[in-house]
Structure formats: structure tokens, C-alpha cells
Amino acid sequence: MRTDYETLILERREPHILVVTLNRPDRSNALNTQMGSEMLELFSGFYVDQEDLRCIILTGAGSKAFCAGGDLKQRNEMTDESWRRQHAIFEQKTLAMMDCPIAIVAAVNGAAYGGGLEMALSADFIYAARSARFAQTETRLGIMPGAGGTQNLPRACGVRRAKEIILTAEPFTAQEAFEWGIVNKLCDDERLMEEAMATARKIAANAPIALRQAKKSIGMATQVDLKTGYAFEIEAYNRLVPTEDRLEGVRAFNEKRKPDFKGK
């Protein structure tokens, strides 16, 4: 795994936990072509090799913004061809995040507008600072959400609320995001990363293969009918039966100790 990205800071703060920080604070961590390419490379790599990670926390540099969305200064006067090329990178970045086998927690520390909200929604769940603000602003710019917003937002808050958010393009508060089911937990600003890390530790303490299989199975819940989804769950479950981690988990329970999972 590379650690020399220009727009991302990677920190292994604890075993099995990686903090990824969007690092363009002078541009409110806006998503430009470079950041899109680097995120695509990073998350695509995890599909192949999980690097002994069990949880990723995604946050933004500074206290002003998580991610303000697409970098409109870079996009100013872009040709149609250049716009489509850039957006193709953003599309693949979104798919790479959603396909990432490692659990992703978005720690939204400031404004998450447009593509920034879509990026947070591409994580498995969101913790937010109380001062954070959210919006899908694309219709004010003559476009529409194109990084999963029309798909992930309705799954989080319901179709009618998602229509209101996207069609009005009006900002909303972290409290409203929490009440609407977009955000899992509200945190005092100064405690956001502390609380995200506490949850990451709980995830990282669990069996890595089981985490990956469970995440894939949950992802099917809104994609297929109940019986097809349950068939997928059973298949995912049965792949865990012959693992060393399954034996270790049961043995540790009976021996009244913490399990030592190896991902085997």
C-alpha cells in the first residue's frame, strides 16, 4: 500500500485500523482529478489485498470541511470530453469504495456537500460532528448527483426525504441528518475521531473473514428479494465454517478469553 499520496494522508494509528484523511484543506478538501485517482487506486487495492486491515476511518483535514464536493475551480471551462473523463474516475472511485471488503466509517468533521456527501454515503456508516453540514447541491449547478447520491441517499433516509434533499439542494444540519437516518451517531466536535476510533476498535477486534462475509451479505439486502438474499447469506456463512478463526472464536468463548483472530 502506497503512503505517498498527494491528496490523502494514510495513518495506521492502531493495529488493523487505517485512518484516511482527505488532504486539500485549502480547497475545503474538494474532490479534484488527482484525489479521485488516488482514492480509486487506494480502494481498488484493498479489493485485492486487505493489508491486514479490518476497519478504515475516512475523514477530512482541518475543521472546516469533510469534503466540499467536486472542485469547481478545476471544472471551470472544462470541455465535455474532459468532464466525462474526470467523472469516469469518480464513478470508479465510488464503486471501489462500495466494493471495498474492509469496513469504512466516515467521520464527517465539517461540510459534506455534493460529492462529499456522496463519498460519506459510500462508506458503511457515518459519524458526524455536531457542527457538520450536509447537502446535495448538484441541481443548482445544472447537474445531478452522479457518485451514488440518487441510490445511496434513498437507502439511508427514504425516497421522499431523498427527493426533497436532492431537488431543493438545500443544506441540512448534522442533527437533521441523524434524525433522518443518514448519520449513525452525533459527536461533539472535539470527540469525533475519538468516538470513531472507539467503534473502529470494536470492529477490528472481530474476525476479519467474518467481517468481510457479513458486509457482503448485508450489501445484498437491498439488491434482491428476501429468499435470494438469504441464500446468499447461507453461502457466505458456510464459507466461515472451515476457518481457523471460527475454531478460535468458539474456543476463546469457552476459555473465557479474548480471541486472537488471524484471518485464516
The residues annotated as belonging to the active site are 118, 138
Count CB atoms within 10 A of the CB of residue 259. Answer: 17
Q: Kindly compute the dihedral angle of the four CA atoms of residues 177, 90, 86, 141, in this order, to the nearest 10 degrees.
A: -20
Structure-derived torsion over alpha carbons of residues 87, 215, 128, 73, reported in degrees to the nearest 10: -10
- The 8-class DSSP code of residue 175 comes to H
Q: What is the dihedral of CA 179, 216, 42, 31, to 10 degrees?
A: -30
Beta strand spans in 15-160 (E): 17-22, 55-60, 65-67, 103-108, 111-113, 125-129, 133-135
What is the distance between the alpha carbons of residues 36 and 38, in angstroms, rounded to a whole number? 6
Sign of CA dihedral 94, 137, 23, 190: negative
First to last CA, the chain: 21
Under DSSP, is residue 31 helix (H, G, I), strand (E, B) or coil? Answer: strand
Q: How many residues does the chain have?
A: 264
Distance of CA 82 to the CA centre of its chain: 26
d(CA 149, CA 162): 9
DSSP code, position 149: H
